[in-house]
Structure 1
């Protein structure tokens, strides 16, 4: 009798409060997935996917899918055939987006070319080869303000070079001299730098590789982005 009553109450709650029932189902699936993946993998969230019967599972910054039982983990992309829209890719873009105002510009090396009207943030490691390639491309941009946040994630030498660049009389010149001209930075390393803050920011927002670019709408572009793609992105922000 108690089981029957409980079932009736559950049905009643589901009909009257579907959002509550969905939230409970998502929490149960999350618990089941977390149990199966173990303590070394953090399941951030579980939410209903745009396909009936599927749930989105967010592990770190990676998107997976599962069924209502939580027994299966599906890796792949959802494509809406009618429109050709990559729903997974769009969702990943939204998850990777930040608030431009969250960036503390005082922690960056700032350079302005032309009228500086277009803004771009770059997270860079001085020993990152792709960062050097990107920096050469960025020299082609005009009417732009570039904020470069150093995050020494490639080793002790990256930390040393970052400190020498930031402690120099002209950090931007020291940075360009190294990244483009190959002239290694030198000098003191004992000044106050924002490296700890930049590294903490990178960890909070899942910036695990360099270079990583951000635009004023918060969108994220990882890797040595082509100059044509940067210009194309800028054109959408007007």
Structure 2
């Protein structure tokens, strides 16, 4: 390749069958020569390459050239989870990591993945049927995917509670128990059946009430999330269909929602910055 890359090594080098897989963040140097790839490997070529290296089933969801000479972007689903990896025109290597634009600090990999996994307006409307409870009466709506036993979810819940109490947002909570959290499914069902809401979620409420309505909602939620490639919590689903998996700190969340930064917090740093917020007619309720 003719462009320059500054690299932060974030893991290890793994060599199999002459293919180097690099686990790192790529920081693109300013002034890089930018040009579209003339071509990218076929899905058949990539399927064979990735499966031979990873030794598991991989679904190729999409392949496209990037704006950087010789670099191709591949959208894959591995073990039910969506990922982005990179290769070149000759399929000589696979790169797992994040592409960061040095001039703006924008995470191009996250931006691409969010566009690939974006929900349709119809699917966004379906989310209401999976909602366990809602808090706040703010003009901006969002959905929060959480598990009672998820520690990072609790951090996100505190931020959302604060914003809801300030009447800035309306948050729809979707309970998505992860399979490795013992008893989480029963907790979710109990919270729904006994109408315990946020208080029940915060206290990890559990009762013997495992009503049919609660079971059906939790099971339907699990199916929907897996179908959409959402395999972890916490998760934020915005009304424009964009999905963000992982905790968003308050400055970044507020920036994403088009809200001013909190008075007691610094603005979001560039390396944590999310893709530019998208204007969408359903982002706000009509008053």
Q: Indicate the residue corresponding to 1:66 in structure 2.
A: 87
Deviates more, 1:130-139 or 1:75-84: 75-84
Distance 1:183 1:108, change over 3 A: closer
Q: Flag the 1:32–1:231 CA change in 2: closer, same or farther, 3 A.
A: same
CA–CA distance in structure 2, aligned partners of residues 50 and 163 of structure 1: 47
The reply to whether residue 221 of structure 1 matches residue 244 of structure 2 is yes
- Tell me: CA distance 1:211–1:82, structure 2 relative to 1, closer, same or farther (3 Å): closer
* Residue in structure 1 matching 2:221, options 198, 222, 226: 198
Q: How does 1:204-215 map to 2 (within 5 A)?
A: 204-215=227-238
8 Å Cα contact 2:141-2:238 kept in structure 1: yes
Return the TM-score normalized by structure 2: 0.63
SS class of match (1:196): helix
Which structure shows the higher helix fraction? 1
In the alignment, which residue of structure 2 is the partner of 1:185? Answer: 206
| Displacement of 1:139 | 1.4
State the structure with more CA Rg.
1
TM-score normalised per structure 1 = 0.74
Q: Going by fraction, where is strand more abundant, 1 or 2? A: 2
Which residue in the other structure is 1:155 paired with? 181
- In structure 1, the partner of 2:45 is 29
Q: In 2, distance between residues paired with 1:112 and 1:81?
A: 38
2:142·2:238 contact (CA, 8 Å) conserved in 1? yes
Alpha carbons 2:133, 2:197 under 8 Å: kept: no
Runs of 4+ in 1 over 6 A off after TM superposition: 81-84
Asked if the contact 2:118/2:242 (under 8 Å) is kept, the reply is yes
Cα RMSD, aligned residues only:
2.8
Q: CA deviation at 1:164?
A: 0.7
Deviation string 1:152-190 (CA, Å, 9 cap, x unpaired) is 11434001111111111xx2xx1322333x373324103
The 1:52/1:231 distance shift into structure 2, 3 A limit, reads closer
Structure 2: 5+ residue runs without aligned partners? 1-37, 259-276
Deviation at 1:136, TM superposition (A): 1.8
Partner secondary structure for residue 64 of structure 1: strand
